[in-house]
Amino acid sequence: MTARMSGEERSITWLSRLNFFLADVRDGLGPFLGIFLMGHGWRADDIGYVMTIGGIAGMLATTPAGALIDATRHKRMLVAVGAILVVAGSLVLILSTSFAPVAASQVGIGIVGAVIGPAIAGLTLGMVGQRRLASQLGRNEAWNHAGNVASAALAGAVSYYWGITAVFVLMALMALASLACLARIDPAHIDHEAARGAASSQADGVRISPLRLLLRSRVLLALAIAMMLFHLGNAAMLPLLGQSATAQGAVSPGLYTALTIIVAQIVMVPVALAAGRLATRYGYVMLVTVALAALPLRGLVAGYWDSPWCLLPVQILDGIGAGILGVALPGLVAQLLQGSGHINVGLGAVTAVQSVGAALSPALAGMMAQRHGYGMAFLMLTVFALLALIIWYGLVLRAGNARPMNKFEAT
């Protein structure tokens, strides 16, 4: 029994390390894409449009991806294939930066990202169960953010000396390391029934549509709507920050973008660890509230402080909001849908709704920046963030739903 437990703990350790190396892989070039395309003569609005295309592809894939994760016993293989495809999609940009190949690469990366997220959530729940989920989500996110710090620092250095294209090589190396971590996770330590939140008496679970899952819980529906508005305000903020500083010509584009990532990710590491502990004490609902409140402040600072140095408070606030949500979002969904057998479908449904906001954000922000300047674009994003907080308050906190949820609750 001791040897088995030791083996389980080793698999969990490699799960944490997997999150470290996937940090540089799952989103492709991420914020480096905007400055990479600007270097090839792209306009701010066109960059926003191509990012939106990728976001829409991810949005459409999220719910089917969640259903796939609930059904499959090959979660490790899906993560491995996804990591390889993200790198391949990004490498397409070396061959051509015309609109069609770039859009195709972002579509592929969006779809793969929709699979990797719930796959990691399913692996985590299947390996540690509900009782240890909050703390493990905190560790996962801490390792993920530490990976982002390391990869961003390396990306900033290699882009400074060898150009943005050197980031592609770094991404490929991180993908190889993630595959090595996956190989060390023993599939015998993954409970696939626990991974989908099935009740102990369930064999196959009851078929249920993603829409019905959302409608059966007021908190889950409010979470989906609030996350949509949150990402409508949040998704374009980091790329826009790098593009704004680059347009002023006062910074090294690759190095500045790396610094924006590093500041936020350093903050996210302790925030994620703290969120894992605080979720047990105060509940996921209160954590979501704090995260939503951080984004409007971030947008106001970015909109009114027209200086490259605004990256410090802007990205510290990003670290607080994103560090909390990385733990609170999957944790709250898993808690609400425990016993349904469809946790990953539910997570996919929430992610699909929030992806509407994430997909539209770059296009709207890019269009606003092109026509009215970057300051107005940041203020527009702030309005969306405020709407997210208002809706969450009205539908959940004011209605008295801020208590911890312990079961799949019908409205």
pLDDT tens-digit readout, 55-87: 788 878 877 887 788 778 888 988 888 888 877
Distance CA 368, CA 372 (A): 6
Specify the pLDDT at position 326: 86
Give me the count of residues in the chain.
411
Q: What is the mean pLDDT of each run of 10 residues along the chain (411 residues)?
A: 61 90 71 76 80 82 81 87 82 82 85 84 85 84 84 78 77 85 88 70 52 74 91 83 68 69 85 87 89 89 74 86 88 81 78 83 82 82 92 76 43 40
The answer to whether the beta carbons of residues 86 and 175 sit under 8 Å apart is yes
With CA atoms as reference, report the closest residue to 24 among 106, 88, 68, 86.
Answer: 86
Determine the angle formed by the axes of helices 44-71 and 75-95, rounding to 10 degrees: 160
Specify the pLDDT at position 5: 47
Partners of 298 in beta bridges: none
The answer to whether the beta carbons of residues 295 and 379 sit under 8 Å apart is no
Q: Please, how many CA atoms are within 13 Å of residue 193, restricted to the half-sphere of its CB? A: 9
The two tokens of residue 353 are 């709704």
The two tokens of residue 386 are 């405020």
Distance CA 90, CA 211 (A): 33
Specify the pLDDT at position 1: 38
Specify the pLDDT at position 400: 57
Q: Which residue in the block uniquely carries the two structure tokens 């090294």? A: 252
Cα torsion for 295, 230, 154, 301, to the nearest 10°? -30
pTM, rounded to two decimals = 0.72
Distance CA 269, CA 7 (A): 26
Specify the pLDDT at position 158: 80
